[in-house]
Amino acid sequence: MTLLLALAALVCLPWADLEITQLSPGAELGRLLAGALSPDFFATEYLMEAIATTLAFALQGIALAAVTGLLLSLLYRYRPIRVMAALLRSVHELFWALLFLQLFGLSSLTGVLALWIPYTGIFTKVYGEILEEVDPAAELALPHDHSLGNAVSRLLYARLPLAWPHIRHYTKYRLECGLRSSVVLGFVGLPTLGYHLETAFRQGLYGEAAALLYLFYLIIATMKWWCRAALLPLYLAVALWYLPPLAQINGELILQFLTQDIVPAPLKSGGELWPWFLRLWQGQILPGLTDTLLLSQMALLLTALLTLAWFPLRSHWFFSRPSRALGQLFLIITRSTPEFVLAFVGLLVFGPSLLPALLALGIHNGAIIGHLVGGFAQGLRLRPDDTPAGYSRAGLYFYQVLPRVYPQLITWLLYRWEIIQRETAILGVLGITTLGFYIDSAFEEFRFDRAMVLIGAAALLNVAVDAVARALRARLQQGDRLARRDA
CA separation for the pair 108, 110 (Å, rounded): 5
The model's pLDDT over 463-477, given as tens digits with 9 standing for 90+, comes to 998 888 888 877 776
Which helix (H) or strand (E) segment holds residue 360: the answer is helix 354-378
**Residue 486's CB: how many other CB atoms inside 10 A?**
6
Kindly tell me the burial class for residue 414, based on how many C-beta atoms sit within 10 Å of its own C-beta (0-12, 13-18, 19 or more): buried
How much is the pLDDT for 283?
Answer: 93
The model's pLDDT over 93-137, given as tens digits with 9 standing for 90+, comes to 999 999 999 999 999 999 999 999 999 999 999 998 888 877 776
DSSP per-residue codes, 365-391: HHHHHHHHHHHHHHT----GGGS-TT-
- Report how far apart, in Å, the C-alpha atoms of 14 and of each of 21, 323, 404, 431 are: 17, 39, 34, 21
Length of the chain: 487
What lies within 8 Å, CB to CB, of 55 at 6+ separation is: 179, 182, 219, 235, 239
The model's pLDDT over 402-446, given as tens digits with 9 standing for 90+, comes to 888 988 899 899 889 889 999 998 899 888 889 999 999 999 999
pTM over 0.75: yes
Q: What does the pLDDT average to over 41-45?
A: 90
Domains and CATH numbers, the chain: 1-24+267-487 (1.10.3720.10), 39-261 (1.10.3720.10)
Contact criterion met (CB below 8 Å) for 434 and 16: no
C-alpha gyration radius of the chain: 24
User: Which DSSP symbol is given to 189?
Assistant: T
CA separation for the pair 263, 458 (Å, rounded): 18
Contact criterion met (CB below 8 Å) for 367 and 314: no
How much is the pLDDT for 487?
Answer: 37
Q: What does the pLDDT average to over 215-222?
A: 93
Contact criterion met (CB below 8 Å) for 287 and 347: no
The model's pLDDT over 138-155, given as tens digits with 9 standing for 90+, comes to 666 666 665 555 566 667
Q: What does the pLDDT average to over 373-384?
A: 81
How many angstroms separate the most distant Cα atoms in the chain? 81
How much is the pLDDT for 21?
Answer: 82
Distance between terminal CA atoms of the chain? 21
